[in-house]
Structure 1
């Protein structure tokens, strides 16, 4: 970590390398800090869940001293997602250093900054898949309790599928709804639906018993599904943005309003797609699902052989590690299958 003093009264801390458990990088900041500290995370190679917790704790300690903390992080990056995955209020986040230094106490709106950045990115995307991926990243950033996010699309013939998600578990939970014909995603995605569907505690949910049981068994207690507005004309899909949270009552009224803004962006992206592209998106999702199962199966086999554990224990190990590193399970599994030879030699 290097320290760079800017125009007083502010201090910029540039963090590089890995930030995780046991890291003393933030402890080096010391006392006697100016009224504004900016943490520049753009050069980090890895920010683990534990590292993100250390950043938030550092900001809370400074806030108790009446010192403001701003964060500079690339919108949609793994580091940005790691910061938003934990508990508490999101830190004021900015796309560049000038914005972070120039924002005063009343100007720090992480939500406004994230929507501005997302709009710029969406305008530059050339495919609906890329645009929807950006919607998912933005949702994780601006909804603090969003542990899983997915998009449900409903084709004109009434079939549902999940083209994008932040974790394979979201697709599994969506598919429980598609199979049973009931659930919040389906209710919100139907043209005659209510616009949004919220369950604050699935442990007490009676509307969709099978979905509620499957979701709570996975450790998720609340869900919010918000309608994607259907564009005019024939052959246009409808859908929903789905947010799952581990916390009962974790999704608030503010989150519902934020989700409405996010779905407006997603609806605009869908409105400019062609029927052929939507069919290609469906086929790509099916191929990805098959590939993901194969890769995860290979990774489980490697762990079972090397660690002497069974299939369930191997999957649990993959899941915990993916959460600790804040990477998708399938990406972790792919790395393991591609590099296990190197690991065996080390």
Structure 2
């Protein structure tokens, strides 16, 4: 690593070689901005990328911003993007003069093109979808939850991938009511892009808005992920949830659209039959889930003398309290109900 260069109120670190000790290297930095110039780091290993990310996190805790200079078309940019080093710039001047909100648009576009190449290299739809939600959490800092909705040609909705069980639960509320941003965005005749900046004041989807705010999520955007180009092809949506009202900046909203566009290009490359099969598998799992939940509700109703609605509410609250999928709670109850002390509504 070369010696640091101070430029006005920024510290520029030109780095090379192995970077394992980077997090401790600039302890005590007093400038409000540190620029890491990684253009001479070849190759940038996964361990190096983790070191960079750790360095950025430590500086953020001290109130110091970090910008990274890297070749946007190279492997280093892809490696850094994959773990969340977000403020990437293609040259030193931009890194020194741009604020985080004034992201280098051309660099971001190049990163997304690189992401598309990565997605195109995936060998299955499932792997591609996992890469999409991972990329969303990286490219969009405000994303607290991410999921993908797939709508079958028959009009059934499923969530094949999610970053948290809560995302799937919020999606499911929309599927059951038939109303919500991911349902609207996934429909072939839908708007293609749906945003609610504060769900506490949302009137379009009352059931979903209530469920989301109850779980602490106030902002959501959903964008069309797959355009149904024929009657036999599924459509879909990329769903991004944020805890903060008005949580998505203009830049992040644009990035969500760009990401969905690039992801759609990759998914369009997959076989229609595989995508349909994935959706059907999810539907079969959804049917099995409903059966298991129904059995668990019956056990609770019989043992505690409560209604079906009260039984479901008890299962839901237990799921949220333990951060375990509701279906897993229900399955455990149906298999081991003779061994378990079932909680009451009061406790």
* TM bracket (short chain): 0.5 to 0.7
Gaps of at least 5 residues in structure 2 are 6-11, 39-43, 71-75, 96-102, 293-315, 329-347
Could you tell me which residue of structure 2 aligns to residue 104 of structure 1?
A: 92
Q: What corresponds to 2:98 in structure 1?
A: none
CA distance in 1, matches of 2:50, 2:284: 29
Residue in structure 2 matched with residue 12 of structure 1 by the alignment: 15
Specify the alignment match of 2:136 in structure 1.
Answer: 139
CA distance in 2, matches of 1:195, 1:166: 22
Corresponding position of 1:54? 58
Equivalence for 2:214: 217
* Largest Rg, 1 or 2: 2
Give 1:172 shift: 0.9
| CA deviation vs aligned residue, 1:50-78 (integer Å, no higher than 9, x gap) | 986424346x5367xxxx5558672564x
* Structure 1: segments with no counterpart, 5+ residues: 84-89, 94-101, 295-310, 320-329, 331-346
1:151 Cα offset (Å): 1.1
**1:25 and 2:7 aligned:** no
In 2, are the aligned partners of 1:151 and 1:241 still within 8 Å (CA)?
A: yes
Equivalent residues of 1:201, 1:249 under 8 A apart = yes
User: Structure 1 CA distance, aligned partners of 2:50 and 2:321?
Assistant: 22
Q: How many residues align?
A: 271
| CA distance in structure 2 between the aligned counterparts of 1:35 and 1:211, rounded to whole angstroms | 42
Mapped partners of 1:314, 1:44: distance in 2: 39
Say whether residues 1:172 and 2:169 are aligned partners: yes
User: What TM-score comes out, normalization by structure 2 length?
Assistant: 0.64
Pairing of 1:1-346 with structure 2 (within 5 A): 4-5=1-2, 10-12=13-15, 16=20, 25=24, 28=27, 36-38=35-37, 42-43=46-47, 53-57=57-61, 61=64, 69-70=68-69, 74-75=79-80, 77=82, 79-80=83-84, 90-92=86-88, 103-106=91-94, 109=104, 111-282=108-279, 285=282
TM-score calculated relative to the size of structure 1: 0.64
Deviations along 1:178-214, whole A, 9 cap, x unmatched?
0111111111111221221110000111111111111
**Counterpart contact for 1:195–1:226, Cα < 8 Å:** yes
Deviation at 1:35, TM superposition (A): 7.7
Task: Tell me, yes or no, if the aligned pair for 1:11 and 1:38 is still in contact at 8 Å.
Answer: yes
Q: CA RMSD in A?
A: 4.1
Shift of 1:267: 2.2
